[in-house]
Chain A
């Protein structure tokens, strides 16, 4: 029997400081410290926000956000699966700085009216950034709550004008072994580049998101800079990082994990507690960060709790077959 316990770090929503207040306090404190420092000892002034990245201009999208508490920035940026930089959870945060993300362009191809090579800025400029706080459920049975900044995928796709033959959207991650040490590994079973895909209606769902930021600033490389997919009702590996290619296709593309182990990872990869991974159960997940001595287990919800928005996409499909 499982008892849902409130994690030790959890606080009720009423205790969370609204971000504007928090930011104002920061501004005030920085100002106060700066003036105090200017009056007394120079050299004590320190930037309050030492997180790397450029500050983004965005508006919150509470209708798409969970009110669960986001994982701390350090947890989100030091615990990553980004096999291009190694299979250890800390490898990406150690080695992703070897990847160059500026300038960045995305090749758009296939069944659409506006193919071509788009500079990242050009691809995103017409759109207003939003912040969406999503749950991310990894196929390895852990999860985190993450405040992404980005644009709805549907808005970008509409501008690229896919034609009626476009039934699927295919994505590719950067393939650059000289910048990505995991791609130089001799015993990797992944056939680089990393590939993912969505059915057109999944891609056009209001939850599908192209993230460019985290906690209000541009993405750190280990989280998939400069642009990545976030599909919150699917296992994390569907949310492909550092995208360089978008292709509209007639046929269903093969994703990287499907190519490696089709019995373990399907094309759909919807979060589903009723369908176990052949090697482990998917009924529960460990919500991170977890305490040292007590695993922070919570029950996994179908479609990661986003069933209301996405269950209709799979009406009549046998999800134990199309996993």
Chain B
């Protein structure tokens, strides 16, 4: 009994900690805005920082299952939904910042139809929308056995986000290479552990 209570509190404390950590990038940005610490092109800095935070959280979300496998502790799963929702939260802020701070809501049609890196980013975001919508317990029940294959959309979302990042590179791609290694690692371990077949939606039985 006592240990169950302790576990419950531990779980809550853990969630608070993860919640706080996930808010840090936003906190730093707000502090920089208040202190006018973002240089002559603050819109660009804000937009980039939000995008990077979204991508990093997407990678952390993807790391949960491998972490569980490696450590044998299934407690990691508790934080997966929150991390995924934070990734979506930052992606949504990133998109809003791009529209307001960079574009100023101008030239929308050309931007979203003619610029490949924007299209890749928009596709990554669109892939995350159904995941966020179906993240609640109730939606999990309603989607039933389709929930799992649907949520494999996180793989194309992460890859598209990386492509979105790569296609903005002008000369030095060191950062992109580092992220590629991490992302490839996270995808490859899945293929190995679950067999490549588990990367495609389950068949109806």
Seen from chain A, the residues whose Cβ lies within 8 Å of a Cβ on chain B are 2, 71-72, 74-75, 78-79, 83, 86-87, 89-90, 142, 144, 182, 185-190, 260, 279-281, 283-284, 286, 288-295, 297
| Neighbouring B residues of A90 by C-beta, 8 Å | 39
Q: Restricting to B1-51, which residues have a CB under 8 Å from any CB of A?
A: 33, 38-44, 46
How many residues from B make CB contacts under 8 Å with A? Answer: 30
Q: Is B167 touching A185 in the complex (CB atoms < 8 A)?
A: no
Q: Is A79 touching B172 in the complex (CB atoms < 8 A)?
A: no
| Neighbouring A residues of B177 by C-beta, 8 Å | 187
CA separation between A190 and B171, bound complex, in Å? 6
Once A280-B115, A292-B33, A295-B101 are accepted as A-B contacts, the answer to whether A185 and B172 lie under 8 Å apart by CB is yes
**Which residue of B is nearest A188, CB measured?**
B172
| Neighbouring B residues of A190 by C-beta, 8 Å | 171-172
Judge whether B110 is part of the interface by a CB distance below 8 angstroms. yes
CA separation between A185 and B172, bound complex, in Å? 8
| Neighbouring B residues of A78 by C-beta, 8 Å | 39-40
Judge whether B200 is part of the interface by a CB distance below 8 angstroms. no
Q: Is B39 touching A279 in the complex (CB atoms < 8 A)?
A: no
Seen from chain B, the residues whose Cβ lies within 8 Å of a Cβ on chain A are 33, 38-44, 46, 100-104, 106-107, 110-111, 115-117, 167-168, 170-174, 176-177
Question: Out of A75, A187, A294, which one reaches B39, CB within 8 Å?
Answer: A75
Q: Is A87 touching B42 in the complex (CB atoms < 8 A)?
A: no
CA separation between A307 and B33, bound complex, in Å? 38
The A interface, classified by DSSP as helix, strand, loop or mixed, is loop
Q: Is A187 touching B173 in the complex (CB atoms < 8 A)?
A: yes
Of A72, A188, A286, most B-chain CB atoms within 10 Å: A286
| Neighbouring A residues of B33 by C-beta, 8 Å | 292
| Neighbouring B residues of A291 by C-beta, 8 Å | 42
| Neighbouring B residues of A293 by C-beta, 8 Å | 43, 100-101
Question: What are 29 sample pairs from A and B whose C-beta atoms fall under 8 A apart?
Answer: A71-B40, A74-B40, A78-B39, A83-B172, A87-B170, A89-B41, A90-B39, A144-B40, A188-B171, A189-B171, A190-B171, A190-B172, A260-B171, A279-B115, A279-B116, A279-B168, A286-B41, A288-B40, A289-B40, A289-B41, A290-B40, A292-B42, A292-B43, A292-B101, A293-B101, A294-B101, A294-B104, A295-B101, A295-B102
Q: Is A186 touching B174 in the complex (CB atoms < 8 A)?
A: yes
CA separation between A84 and B116, bound complex, in Å? 28
Nearest Cβ in chain A — how far from B174, in angstroms?
4
